[in-house]
């Protein structure tokens, strides 16, 4: 009986150490990724860029893009906003609001040409105009 208890306690100890090592490695990996994206602020811009990519993908699909809007026009608009996001020259609250409104309104129905033109203008309106900028 005593030998079974010793074997079980040794087994539990090894499993606990193994789990602690896995948790520690996971925390180190999360810390490295968090630092690579630039901390809390960088993570917000990284998530905004990925949300922007998803909406662009959805809008460029054949069943969502209206006939009056070319794919190049969509790509150019999203590229300008993406560059501003990478340079941290975008109003994140406005960007998230614009992306959320698109997802809410056009998730199930195909948008019209004027609706997409208005959305693209709203999207480009999220770019901040800096005094240092020559644009």
Annotated domain spans of the chain: 1-36, 39-135
Q: What angle do CA 36, 46, 35 make, to 5 degrees?
A: 20
Q: What is the pLDDT of residue 86?
A: 87
Q: What is the pLDDT of residue 107?
A: 80
Mutual angle of helices 39-60 and 92-106, in 10-degree steps: 30
Across the chain, what does the average pLDDT equal? Answer: 85
- Assess whether pLDDT exceeds 50 at residue 55: yes
CB-CB contact of 37 with 46 (8 Å): yes
Q: What is the pLDDT of residue 11?
A: 77
When pLDDT is cut at 50, 70 and 90, the band that residue 2 belongs to is: low
How confident is the model over 107-128, as pLDDT tens digits?
A: 888 888 899 999 999 999 999 8
Q: What is the pLDDT of residue 34?
A: 81
- Assess whether pLDDT exceeds 80 at residue 37: no
- Assess whether pLDDT exceeds 50 at residue 131: no
CB-CB contact of 64 with 102 (8 Å): no
Q: What is the pLDDT of residue 9?
A: 72
Q: What is the pLDDT of residue 121?
A: 93
How confident is the model over 90-103, as pLDDT tens digits?
A: 999 999 999 999 88
- 3-class secondary-structure state, position 65: coil
């Amino acid at each position: 009986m005593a030998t079974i208890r010793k074997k079980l306690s040794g087994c539990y100890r090894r499993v606990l150490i193994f789990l602690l090592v896995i948790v520690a490695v996971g925390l180190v990996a999360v810390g490295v990724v968090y630092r690579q994206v630039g901390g809390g602020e960088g993570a917000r811009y990284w998530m905004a860029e990925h949300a922007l990519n998803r909406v662009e993908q959805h809008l460029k699909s054949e069943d969502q893009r209206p006939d009056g809007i070319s794919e190049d026009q969509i790509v150019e608009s999203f590229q300008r906003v993406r560059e501003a996001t990478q340079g941290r020259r975008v109003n994140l609250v406005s960007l998230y609001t614009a992306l959320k409104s698109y997802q809410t309104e056009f998730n199930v129905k195909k948008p019209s040409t004027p609706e997409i033109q208005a959305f693209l203008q709203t999207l480009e309106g999220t770019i901040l105009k800096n005094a240092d900028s020559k644009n």
